[in-house]
Structure 1
Amino acid sequence: MTAQPHSSDWPAERLAEARAVLADVAHHSDPLIRLACGVLIRHGETADEREAAQRLLVVIDARRPVQRAQREDGGRVRS
């Protein structure tokens, strides 16, 4: 493993990547969305940005049981 030189731009780059993931949330996996939310919750520039990331994280976490139930049911919808 090669050590990468430390760049002072890395925090801004990670924030930009996290914002890009959330801007196109429909095309990213839940684990990646959770990671992006975590970055913005901790390092977002504004309180609004941090709060929006926290709300999205709650939504993503809330749908986990539904997805698990659908997998266990083989994707069938219960009536």
Structure 2
Amino acid sequence: MSPADFSSAWPTERLAEARAVLADVAHHSDPLIRLACDVLIRHGETADEREAAQRLLVVVDARRPVQRAQREDGGRVHS
């Protein structure tokens, strides 16, 4: 593969990978979901795709403090 082929294939391949991650979001880690969202926010083909990735990123980031608190608490539930 020549350098020109590599550079032209990169965006298409990364977008496809990002879309695949978000299509199966339940089976991927939050860091990978964040990365996929970042790719689509910056390089998504449509405004709808970029906006959907931005909304998902907000959701993933919003649940992070809860997960951190549960880890620090040993997973105990408080009443």
Bigger helix fraction: 2
**Match of residue 61 from structure 1:** 61
Gaps of 5+ in 2: none
- Overall identity of the aligned pairs, in %: 88
Match of 1:75 in 2: 75
Taking structure 1 as the reference length, what is the TM-score of the superposition? 0.91
Aligned residues: 76
TM-score normalised according to structure 2 size: 0.91
> Residue 15 in 1 paired to residue 30 in 2?
no
Deviant stretches of 4+, over 2 Å: none
In the alignment, the residues of structure 2 paired with residue 27 and residue 5 of structure 1 have an alpha-carbon distance, to the nearest angstrom, of 34
Q: Which runs of 5+ in 1 are unaligned?
A: none
Partner of 1:37: 37
* CA-based RMSD: 1.2
